[in-house]
Amino acid sequence: MAKEPKKSKQQRATEVCRRMEERYGNRGSALRYHSPYSLLIAVMLSAQTTDRSVNKVTPRLFDLWPHPADLAVADEKDVEEVIHPLGFYHTKARHAIECAQTILADWNGHVPDTMEGLTSLPGIGRKTANIVLNKAFGKVEGIAVDTHVFRIATRLGFTAAPTPLAAEQDLLSIIPQSLWGSVNETWIQLGREICSSRAPKCDICPLADLCPSAGSALRSPAKGIRKK
């Protein structure tokens, strides 16, 4: 199969973003938060679990430790008890406390609002930093590529990268910067509802005519390509 020209890929990517914004753009964040600090911790806790599960533990978590200064002096065992249902609670509790301590020591108690500052915090990688910059500070410096975004980008033929971190650079090169901000939230919705890892529902996917990986029935001469 001939390699797709970059211009064609850029056009497809722009149309994908347009459709995803049209379909999911008004849903907002699935994680509940009330400040940059609560968002930062919530996103950190969401690794390897669902946003719904995180939302079940964060009310008590932030009642007990509402500010970085409170969490910085928390007992690790107490934090583990609160977030135990999320899994990986030993590591998450340690990172949450260390993160709060670093915010207190290095950032005067305020969550940093730069990529460099955020990724200097314990347990915070580029994906989490992108989400916090976007939602808490209105800054868009990249695209948060989680498992859903990574899967969809791969199926759409936008990346062949081996990791989400590497895939971000491919997406940044073909998606206009003005559209970066909504990619994570809207593509996640598609991944949850339609483009699942095991059983993608290609027959009802709004991107089927743009997707090289769509089911063969959608591309057969008899049925043609779905139009949206």
The question of whether 92 is a catalytic residue gets the answer no
Cα–Cα distance, 119 to 129 (Å, whole number): 6
pLDDT score recorded for residue 30: 86
Phi-psi region of 109 (alpha: psi -120 to 50; beta: other; left: phi over 0): left
Which tens digit of pLDDT belongs to each residue from 45-69?
Answer: 998 899 999 999 999 999 999 999 9
Catalytic residue among 9, 92, 146, 170: 146
Which tens digit of pLDDT belongs to each residue from 33-43?
Answer: 999 999 999 99
pLDDT score recorded for residue 215: 62
**Where residue 2 falls among pLDDT bands split at 50, 70, 90?**
confident
Closest CA to 97 of 81, 110, 80, 84: 80
pLDDT score recorded for residue 64: 98
Catalytic residue among 127, 203, 223, 228: 127
pLDDT score recorded for residue 26: 83
Helix (H, G, I), strand (E, B) or coil at 126: helix
Range in 31-40, 71-80, 133-142, 210-219 with the lowest mean pLDDT: 210-219
Q: How many CB atoms lie within 10 A of CB 176?
A: 11
Long-range interactions of 88-93: CB distance < 8 A, separation 24+: 88/47, 88/48, 91/123, 92/44, 92/45, 92/47, 92/123
Range in 38-42, 145-149, 220-224 with the lowest mean pLDDT: 220-224
Summarize the confidence of residues 63-88 as an average pLDDT.
97
The question of whether 209 is a catalytic residue gets the answer no
Which tens digit of pLDDT belongs to each residue from 163-183?
Answer: 999 999 999 999 999 999 999
**Where residue 1 falls among pLDDT bands split at 50, 70, 90?**
low
**Where residue 219 falls among pLDDT bands split at 50, 70, 90?**
very low
Using CB atoms within 10 Å of the CB of residue 199, give its burial: 0 to 12 exposed, 13 to 18 middle, 19+ buried: exposed
**Domains and their CATH numbers in the chain:** 6-27+144-219 (1.10.1670.10), 36-137 (1.10.340.30)
Please name the residues in contact with 206: beta carbons below 8 A apart, sequence gap of 6 or more: 19, 20, 23, 190, 194, 228
Name the DSSP class of 169.
H
pLDDT score recorded for residue 28: 75
Name the DSSP class of 5.
P
Buried residues in 15-31 as b, exposed as e (16+ CB within 10 A): ebbebbbebbeeeebeb
